[in-house]
Amino acid sequence: MTPCLPFTVLGILCFPVLMYELAEVLFDLYGMATLDDVDSNCNGMVLRSISEKPPKHHIMKFMSFSSLKSEDRYESGNFEAGGYSWKLVLFPNGNKKRNVTDHISLYLEMAGEKPISTDLVVTVEYKLFLLNRQKEKKTYLVREDANKKYCFYRAIVGGSAGFDRFISLEEFGNLRNGYLVDDQCEFGAEVFVSEMRNGKGEMVAMNLNTVMYKHVWNVIDFSKLSAEYYFSPSFIGEDQKYCKWKIWLYPKGTAAGKGSHVSVFLQMDETEKLPTGSKILAQFKLGILDQVHGKHIVREAKQWFSAPRWGLGWPELITQEANAAFLKNDICVVETEFTILGVSIPGIS
């Protein structure tokens, strides 16, 4: 069954602005750096180096790191760099939503209330730090994306950059390495921001995410619905919070399904904030759950989307007769799973 009709998305871009060959490279001010493991957050390798200088913009010190063991995540206070507000987000036991185990996950996120103007691309060169007290003289483990730059392009607050596997728990906890001493440790960040205005070019980012986010909408008193269509409340994917979505439901069907089917679409909310000409590669599932026998009806699609189609879904997702048999207490359960895989941004000089 071919999907059709309305959709749009705002995304963070993480793309190679500067590529490195697979070899050792010299890293300014820090001596020799090496290309580390491939990190699922980036489109390439991760640089790992040592610095004698502390981070310039923010330090996050833990006096009792073991107290975080029961916590899923910890967010630092906000700090300013380059005219924008930022924060560090640390997962002491790994970001489980990205299937990370045995590592500390560390990210840089936009914070505060200042949005990015729709005619701007905010390009960030960032480094994340971990203090090493192994020797008398303090040094810092520094990690950064080998692609050098990370671009934020969206009109609402949210989005993050960083490393799923910042450091393994084994390496971090080994006393000989000097990262965790007397249950104390110190993380930090440097963030260098530049802004670009729209021009005549285009930027394309691929493989942005592999995690699918789920949202369930319980539509009550389904048999009593009388309007042509209904929208769910807006929702977000937890790690894609720069983007708001909603489900578009036609109880009596629309287009090819009008009068015979229930039609369901996934739509981006606040579409007026997406610059004209943008294209989004999204993968998603839409379905109606069978609450009686568990024989759910689910459809899946992956496709580039652009104006004038601001949503996508299925006019003939399920017949009205079959849907009536799925209901329990006159509640229709609509479920979606979604993620953004790629973004093409027009007019970037």
As a whole number of angstroms, the distance between CA 333 and CA 336 comes to 10
Give every CB contact of residue 124 below 8 A, 6+ residues apart in sequence.
82, 108, 149, 150, 151, 152, 161, 191, 192, 193
pTM of the model: 0.62
Burial 170-182 (b: 16+ CB within 10 A, else e): eebeeeebbbbee
Per-residue pLDDT tens, the chain, 349 aa: give them.
444 333 222 223 333 222 222 222 223 333 333 444 444 443 346 788 899 899 999 999 999 999 998 889 999 999 999 888 899 999 999 998 888 999 999 999 888 766 667 666 677 889 999 999 886 778 999 998 766 555 554 443 456 788 889 999 999 999 989 999 999 999 999 998 887 766 666 666 666 666 788 999 999 999 999 999 999 999 987 766 657 789 999 999 999 999 999 999 998 877 666 666 777 788 999 999 999 999 999 999 998 877 777 788 999 999 999 999 999 999 999 999 998 887 776 665 5
Phi and psi (nearest 5°) for 94? 95, 150
Length of the chain: 349
3-state SS assignment for residue 321: helix
> Tokens representing 156?
């609402």
Could you give the residue ranges of the DSSP H alpha helices within the chain?
169-173, 320-326
As a whole number of angstroms, the distance between CA 217 and CA 219 comes to 6
DSSP 179-217: SSBTTBEEEEEEEEEEEEEEEEEEEEEE------EEEEE
Task: Please give the torsion angle defined by the CA atoms of residues 276, 279, 285 and 286, in that order, rounded to the nearest 10 degrees.
Answer: 20
Rounded to the nearest angstrom, the gap between the alpha carbon of residue 171 and the centroid of all alpha carbons in its chain is 27
